[in-house]
Amino acid sequence: MVWTLIRIELNKMFRRPRTYLGLIGAALIPLAVIIIFHYKDPTPFIAKILGDMFTLSGSILNGYLVSLVTINHGTINFFLPVLVVLVVGEIVAGEEQEGTLRLVLSRPVNRAYFLISKLISSLFYTFLLILIMALVGLGGGLLVFGRGSLLVSGLLLGDEGWFNILNPAEAVQRLLIVHGGAFLVILTITFLSFFLSSILKNPIGAMIFPLILVIFLQIISNFPFFSEIKPYLFTTYMDLWVDLLAPEIPWKDILNSGFILLGHGLFFLAGSFYYFTRKDILS
């Protein structure tokens, strides 16, 4: 029964225009970077930021840099969450608003199985977003700009002033790991939006509230007098992908951040199943 429900949910998801709007949006991010870099080499700009740390000779522009620039703080903290909530926010609440949820659950369908099918569809969509960004950013970047060494500086990523130079083989490996880290971060937003979609009747709330919450938590975490609660906010760990580019990857810190993000995600997920399997569908 679960596999049948999953196929139904995937069919419903890919019949909605907003699903394709999200996937196109994921492709437009690296495409925009490729277009900008085609007309403006970022080497002088990066050299200016790095200052006297070291001198750049020639251009650092290549396909690996395109893929790296595609994954940035704006993408992780805002753009990808927007694309996620666009679809996940309505996956349950949208049916309740349209009145089809009561009709579906009037049949002999286990509510937990029904919600699992919705969840797997949401996870698949989130995975597709990251996959498209990786394929278009890395594949398109290499096609247009070719290969080369990847220069990474913590100063450019809002971290400490470390820098790292990766050969092509190392660059591919690190970029794949970075996209994996980005997927883990965005999963938390997926679970949050899924939770709200499970408990709210209006999908607009499930789309808007996660974005407002992420922005609000990021703002208050910058105030010193909120430093005591900062370790408990999931937004504190949304930059774990940065450390994956360091010369020596701090796996202990990254695993700790990953477990905290998963802990928040599982909390949202447990809330979804607890509430949905008990609530009355009256509309």
Domain boundaries, the chain: 2-276
67 falls in which pLDDT band (50, 70, 90)? very high
pLDDT at 231: 87
Percent over 70 (pLDDT), the chain:
88
Across 231-250, average pLDDT: 89
pLDDT at 56: 62
pLDDT at 129: 96
104 falls in which pLDDT band (50, 70, 90)? low
Is the pTM above the cut of 0.85?
yes
The whole-angstrom separation of Cα 272 and Cα 115 is 8
